[in-house]
Amino acid sequence: MTGERDPPGITNADVAAQFEAFADLLEAKDVEYKPRAYRRAAENIRAHARPVAEIAREDPDALQEIDRVGEAIAEKIVEYAETGEIGELEELRAELPVDMAALTSVEGVGPKTVGSLYDALGITDLDDLEAAAREGKIQEVSGFGAKTEQNILEGIEFARQVGERHLLGEVRPLADDALAHLDVDAVQRVEVAGSIRRWQETIGDVDLLVATGDDAAVVDRFVEWPAADEVIEAGDQKASVRADGARVDLRAVDPSEFGAALQYFTGDVDHNVHLRNVAIDRDLKMNEYGVFDVTVVEDPDAGQRVGERIAGETEQSMYAALDLPWIPPEMRRDTGEIEAAASGELPALIEEGEIRGDLHTHTEWSDGNNTVAEMVQAAADFGYDYHAVTDHAAGAGTPPAIGLDSTEVREQIETVEAVAADAPIEVFHGVEANVTADGGLSPDADVLGELDLVIASPHAALGQDYETATERLVGAVEDPRVDVLGHPSGRLIHDRPGLEFDVERVARAAADHGVALEVNANPHRLDLWGDAVQRALDAGATIAIDTDAHSPPELAYVRYGVHTARRGWAEPADVLNARDVEGVREFLG
C-alpha cells in the first residue's frame, strides 16, 4: 500500500492488519519475541473503542495507553495514519515478497515454513507452492519430507475452496458499521440479509436491505461510507462497494415491500422453496414483493405483483399469511422449522443476554494476554455472574512454552483463589487438558481432580478417520474428570477441517456422563456448528457456549456462539452457562 491516505478512512482493523503482517514476516525470518508482541498489540488495537488513527492525529502520546502498545509501535501507528504505509514493514515485504495470507491459509504452512520455502525454492504464492509440491521439490528441502509435501498438496485444494468466503466474525462487525452509517433520515428501515443474517459461519457477500422513499439519497449515502475502499457499481436502487476485501451490496426497496424482500433475500433457498409451496397449496403466491391472493387478479400486466397483496410490509405478515409464526433467521435451513412452526412447536431460542458466564478462557499463565485479575474484572464488566479461568495444560498438541505442568497448575490455584476472594463475581478454576489420540487425557495427573472443572479438547491427531475419531471423543467424555468437551472437532475455519465424527454417538455418551459439549464461539472455530448442535440436542446433550477468550475483548465473541447455537435450535435450558452459579456447580458435581 502506497501513497497518501485520508486518516478517517483508516479503521482499527486496517492498523491491526499491519502489525499482523509485521509478525508474520518477522516470524518467517526467524526473529524471536517481536512477532508475539506485534500480535498482542494488534489484538488490542483491533478491539479498541476509538479509531486509533484519530488518536494518532489528535494525541499521539495517548496511543501508549493502549495495552501492549509501546513507544515503537505507537510511532508506527502515527506513520501509517499519516502516510498510509509503514516504512519498516515495506522493507520487510521487499525482502520477502510472498503472498503470506494465501500461503498460510494452507494447513501446516505457517510463516516460518513460508520463509524456509522462499529461501530454498523462491516460492511466493499458491501456484508456486502447488507446482513445487507436484514436482517433489518440497521434500528435498531440509526439515521437510514426503509426508509433509503430500499434506501441503492436499491443503492447497482445501485453501482454494475456502478462499472466496469470509469468516462471520470478520464481516459481521463490518456489516454493523454499515448499518450505523445508514442510520439517516432517508432510511426508514435497514437490515442485513442473506447468510450473514442467518449467522452462517462463512459469508460470501454482505447484503444490506433498505426501506426508503428516496432511493437516490440512500445510494449516495452508501457509497460515501468511510470503510468502502472501492465503489463497484452505483445504480438507481442498488449499489455495491468493496470494504476490507469483502463485497457489500445494497438494495433499496419500497417500505410497503420491505418485509417481503427481507424474507426473500434472507433465505436460505430450501426454506424459501418450501414456503412458496405452502403458499401455492393455499392459492397464494409468495415472492420478494409480498404474498398475493392469486384468485383475485387485479392487473394481469403487474408482473410478479399479480393478485391482491395480503402481506409484505413486515416479515411477520409474510409468515402470518401462511398461518405461521415468524421463524428466526438462524433456523431457516429447512430442517423441520416450518413443520414446527405449523404445529406450534418452535423453540424459544437462547438470546445473547441469557449467557451468565464464560467457562473457557485463558490468561498470561498460558497463551492469553492478561492476568487472572484482569480477565475476571473484564467478565464482571461484561455483566457476567461468573467466570472460569481454564489455561492450557501441558501435553499432546500444546506447545511446551504454553502448557502448564502439575506444579504450575497448583501455583495458579493460589493465584485464582486470591483473585476470587475479592472478585465481584464467582470465579471457577479449571484447565484445558488435551484429548490424546486414543481418547485419554494429557496430562493424566491427579491435579485435575483438584479443580472446579476440566475442559478436554482435541488439539492434535486431527486427521483420524471417522470411527477412530468417534471412539476417541467418546473415550474423553467417559472420563469422570471431564466436564466439558472443548471445540470437539478441533477445526479452524479456512485453516484446517478438523475431526469428522458421529455427533449423535458422542452426544449420547456426553449426556450419559454429565459432560457438556462446547460451542466454541471464536469465529475461527464455531465448533460445534449449527447442524451438529441440533443433532447433539436431539441426542439429549447439554451444550456450553464459550469464547475461548485470550483477552478481554474476545469475551464479546459470545454473540457468535449464541447465534450458532440458535442455528441448532438451542433453548436456554439446553445451555450450561445460561444457568446461575448454583446450577453450574450442580452440573459440575
CA dist 173 → 176, 237, 559, 562 (Å): 5, 24, 11, 16
88 three-state secondary structure: helix
Nearest Cα to Cα of residue 345 among 336, 357, 334, 335: 336
Return the C-alpha cell found at 579: 444457568
Answer yes or no: are the C-beta atoms of 20 and 39 closer than 8 Å.
yes
589 residues of the chain, pLDDT tens digit each:
333 333 335 878 789 889 999 999 999 999 988 898 998 899 889 878 788 998 999 999 999 999 889 999 999 999 999 999 999 999 999 999 999 988 988 878 999 999 999 999 999 999 999 999 999 999 999 989 998 999 899 888 777 766 568 999 999 999 999 999 999 999 999 999 999 999 999 998 999 999 999 999 999 999 999 999 999 999 999 999 999 889 999 999 999 999 999 999 998 989 999 999 999 999 999 999 999 998 876 665 556 667 889 999 999 999 999 999 999 999 999 999 999 999 999 999 999 999 999 999 999 999 998 999 999 999 999 999 999 999 999 987 777 778 999 999 999 999 999 999 999 999 999 999 999 999 999 887 789 999 999 999 999 999 899 999 999 999 999 999 999 999 999 999 887 889 999 999 999 999 999 999 999 999 999 999 999 999 999 999 999 999 999 999 999 999 999 999 999 999 999 999 999 999 999 999 8
CA atoms of 124 and 131, how far apart (whole Å):
11
Nearest Cα to Cα of residue 336 among 534, 70, 119: 534
CB pairs under 8 A, 24+ apart, for 212-216? 212/186, 212/187, 212/188, 212/252, 212/253, 212/255, 213/186, 213/188, 213/254, 213/255, 214/186, 215/252
Q: How many CB atoms lie within 10 A of CB 370?
A: 22
CA atoms of 159 and 130, how far apart (whole Å):
11
User: Residue 208: beta bridge partners?
Assistant: 192, 250
CA atoms of 329 and 315, how far apart (whole Å):
11
- The CATH superfamily holding the domain 7-162 is DNA polymerase beta, N-terminal domain-like (1.10.150.110)
What is the location of CATH 1.10.150.110 in the chain?
A: 7-162
Domain 263-342 fold = Beta Polymerase; domain 3 (3.30.210)
What is the location of CATH 3.30.460.10 in the chain?
A: 166-253
Res 395: pLDDT: 84
Amino acid letter, residue 321 = A
CATH 3.20.20.140 at 352-588, yes or no:
yes
Answer yes or no: are the C-beta atoms of 356 and 587 closer than 8 Å.
no
Whether the link from the prior residue into 300 is cis, omega within 30° of 0, is no
Q: How many CB atoms lie within 10 A of CB 313?
A: 18
- The CATH superfamily holding the domain 166-253 is Beta Polymerase, domain 2 (3.30.460.10)
End-to-end CA distance of the chain: 56
CA atoms of 431 and 403, how far apart (whole Å):
10
Q: What is the dihedral of CA 174, 251, 191, 198, to 10 degrees?
A: -80
CA atoms of 359 and 480, how far apart (whole Å):
18
Res 244: pLDDT: 87
Q: How many CB atoms lie within 10 A of CB 438?
A: 11
174 three-state secondary structure: helix
Q: What is the pTM of this model?
A: 0.78
Q: Which helix (H) or strand (E) holds 285?
A: strand 284-287
Res 497: pLDDT: 83
Q: How many CB atoms lie within 10 A of CB 400?
A: 8
Return the C-alpha cell found at 572: 436456554
What is the location of CATH 3.20.20.140 in the chain?
A: 352-588
Check residue 297 and give left, alpha or beta (phi > 0: left; psi -120 to 50: alpha): beta
What is the location of CATH 3.30.210.10 in the chain?
A: 263-342
